[in-house]
Chains A and B, each alone.
Chain A
């Protein structure tokens, strides 16, 4: 168990959104620690604050109060540009709607984080292709997203999230747009390819078909964490 070290420390996170003249508190002071080397699920009903929480963890949404430390770096004390660079080298993103660039091939889409980091095009696309190979869709590398099924597109998105070997991978509802079978296959693959001792993987989902893949489950209700364990609570 020695490889499961604390990677992320969440301290008193409060998030409020303004709705017209009043402020709505969505997260009510959340404290948590998330470890590397395991798959952490953030589950809860729609509107419970999962997306808000994972956005704050991933450094794309400023909290109203509190702090987030990722691999020892207090990310919201960084300047805007430094935070962007921190994300680029440390975090991989997987979205519900894949958000692939429709006019780039699968391999090119998978290479985007490397290109953004300044790598030469050919080398980056080669590495993207290699990543697609690990996800068993090397044969689709030269196709455009619209020529792929939903499950294949999500695998391209996973390749894009992992190609630059980030230490943190965040996914928001990665299977929500997929049918049960391909959702399952995508998650099996994600677990197999993404999970590594030095890597932290956080998955937001309310898809109970894939709960069994989690190493740890955090349940959110109304902006609070109400359960923390290896399985879902019984009731």
Chain B
């Protein structure tokens, strides 16, 4: 009977395509929006993941994320270095500033000052220039997203002079990093330089990057650091998570995406439910005839289940494929989608949502078929 069920459905092109459209639309919208959502909030962690060597971040107890931090006094560095179990520790400065481009435009940037001696905190992957260039006078290294933002396409920014907080800065290299949540331009420079760029008070060390000694976990060492210094210490994973949580808690993003996903689900249920029930209504006499002829309710259930399954699988496949194409082409072509990927949870979650949708609509459709008395076909 399965082939009959499938033919009943696929033979009615309009409704079949309507059903596929409904499911595919939902699957596309839900998976695409979830992917963008996840990738966006994960950008709250890129500043942390861009520094792979440091598995411990130390900061003032009130600091929350790489961008929401209260600077510490310079003495904190020695305190952390003297904690038993700390392999090495180096200072990191992160501070907002403004640059004036040669064209005279003003742009907000994040200045990142990395340890003069080791350059720990500087991303590894250079598109142009090299680490050594940072030792040249007034040298800054710009991130790839920032370069794309500040300069026209194809323009080589090496050697360009910027006014960074009224001081001269010269671009000496471009590093490849995943964009941060705000996609702000990042200028890397040596710590001593950064102190000059960023005007201010005595306390300007935003973070201390550290590494646990062999045989100790990062978690164990963070506990020791906090006990010994009173500073807040987080493992890399914890601090990455803090950045993500901060976005979740302090922006309307989860709500907005949640609404879109819910709409995708509701619109999907509405389209699929309506089309499915139209299909059933058009075929109710035929279902009634089948029941009179001698098709048991169980077989009817299997028929409707086969129809729902077909619609669900094909529609889901189309939707996920379109979403994957969208994300992949976006990641390849637009700096806004740079580094976007689809975590495996999203197709799985979308499958669950589509399944729920199919179960709800299939059940509604089935109910009207099962309710039909075979005697009604003689009316």
Report which A residues bind B (CB closer than 8 A). Answer: 51, 54-55, 58, 60-61, 81, 84-89, 91, 93, 95-97, 99-104, 108, 112-113, 115-117, 121, 160, 172
CA distance A95 to B375 in the complex (A): 11
Among A61, A88, A95, point to the contact of B373 (Cβ < 8 A).
A61
**In the complex where A60-B374, A104-B4 touch, is A99 in contact with B299 (Cβ < 8 A)?**
no
A99 touches B286 (CB 8 A): yes
Asked if B104 is an interface residue, CB under 8 A from chain A, the answer is no
**Interface membership of chain B positions 146-190, coded 1 if the CB is closer than 8 angstroms to chain A and 0 otherwise:** 000000000000000000000000000000000000000000000
When distances are taken between beta carbons in the complex, the residues of chain A under 8 Å from B331 are none
A-B contact pairs, 9 of them (CB 8 A): A54-B378, A55-B375, A81-B296, A91-B294, A93-B292, A95-B289, A112-B4, A116-B294, A160-B293
Chain B residues in 8 Å Cβ range of A104 = 4, 7-8, 11
Q: Which residues of A contact B291 (CB under 8 A)?
A: 60, 84
B interface with A by C-beta (< 8 Å):
1, 3-4, 7-8, 10-12, 283, 285-286, 288-296, 299, 373-375, 377-379
In the complex, the answer to whether B375 meets A60 with C-beta atoms within 8 Å is yes
Q: Chain B residues with Cβ under 8 A from A87's Cβ?
A: 292-294
**Cβ 8 A contact of A112, one of B293, B296, B375, B378:** B293
B residues in contact with A58, CB < 8 Å: 292
Least Cβ–Cβ distance between B374 and chain A, in angstroms: 4
Is B11 touching A93 in the complex (CB atoms < 8 A)? no
A103 touches B7 (CB 8 A): yes
16 further contact pairs, Cβ within 8 A, besides A113-B294, A116-B293: A51-B378, A58-B292, A60-B292, A61-B375, A84-B296, A88-B294, A93-B289, A93-B292, A93-B293, A95-B378, A101-B7, A116-B1, A116-B295, A121-B3, A160-B293, A172-B378
Interface centre among B8, B296, B378 (most CB of A within 10 A): B378
Name the 4 nearest CB pairs between A and B, nearest first.
Answer: A103-B11, A88-B294, A99-B289, A61-B375
A211–chain B nearest beta-carbon distance, Å: 21
User: With A and B bound together, what is the CA distance between A121 and B285 in angstroms?
Assistant: 23
In the complex, which residues of chain B have a beta carbon less than 8 angstroms from the beta carbon of A100? 286
Contact of A113 among B288, B293, B299 (CB under 8 A): B293
Chain A residues with Cβ under 8 A from B290's Cβ? 112, 116
Q: How far is the CA of A101 from the CA of B283 in the complex (A)?
A: 8
Min CB distance, A154 to chain B, in Å? 13
Task: Compute how far the CA of A101 lies from the CA of B289 in the bound complex, rounded to whole angstroms.
Answer: 9
A97 to chain B, nearest CB (A): 7
When the two chains form their complex, are residues B296 and A103 in contact, meaning their CB atoms are under 8 A apart? no
Residue of B3, B4, B10, B294 with most chain A CB atoms under a 10 A cut-off? B294
Bound CA–CA A97/B289 (angstroms) = 10
Decide yes or no: A60 and B373 within 8 Å by CB, A95-B378, A103-B10 being known contacts. Answer: yes
Q: Give the residues in chain B near A160, CB-CB below 8 Å.
A: 293
The smallest C-beta distance from B105 to any residue of chain A, in angstroms, reads: 64
Residue of B with least CB distance to A104: B7
Beta-carbon nearest neighbor of B298 in chain A: A81
